Amino acid sequence: MERIKLKILLITAVVLCAVFLGHPAKCEEIPESQLTIPQTVSYDNCTKTYYIPSEKLFYLTLASISANRFEIKEMQSKTGYILFKAAGKEFLATVVYYGLNKSMLKITPTNNNYYFAPGIVLNIFKYIDLNLESPVESIPKE
């Protein structure tokens, strides 16, 4: 089982490198050089609504956090939250169910201090946007 997880992470990393190196993402709101500099981030920039089922958004969020190499501390699929650590701060990603094909993702710091690098949140949203059309598949057991 561990080998399968390792293979999936490796494949994901290779695909992400190809995607990001082949098509550099551009942020219209904030210049890329400022994405890594800590600054006050608006709460509105920490939430985004998607027109996909909440279960798929949860798995895409989990994959995005993993792909960005953030440390996952705790997760619970039933309530739709993921606690993770990035750049020395803890964040809570919460998937909110709005209907059959509508859900929202909130990524907030656990200490309510919104002074952090905005790239943490924006990179998660970018990954999800890039992979919205990807199907969610289960991994067969060996």
For the chain, the structural domain boundaries read 28-130
C-alpha to C-alpha distance for 61 and 30, rounded to whole angstroms: 22
Q: Please state, rounded to an integer, the average pLDDT across all residues of the chain.
A: 80
Q: Look at residue 115 in the predicted model and tell me its pLDDT.
A: 92
The pLDDT score that the predictor gives to residue 93 is: 96
- Quote the pLDDT of residue 34: 53
pLDDT of residue 18: 46
User: What is residue 38's predicted lDDT score, i.e. its pLDDT?
Assistant: 78
Residues of the chain with pLDDT under 50: 1, 5-7, 10, 14-28, 30, 32
Whole-Å CA distances, 85 to 51, 52, 63, 66, 71 = 27, 26, 15, 11, 5
Please give the CATH architecture assigned to the domain spanning 28-130.
2-Layer Sandwich (3.30)
CA–CA distance from 58 to each of 109, 121, 137 (Å)? 18, 15, 13
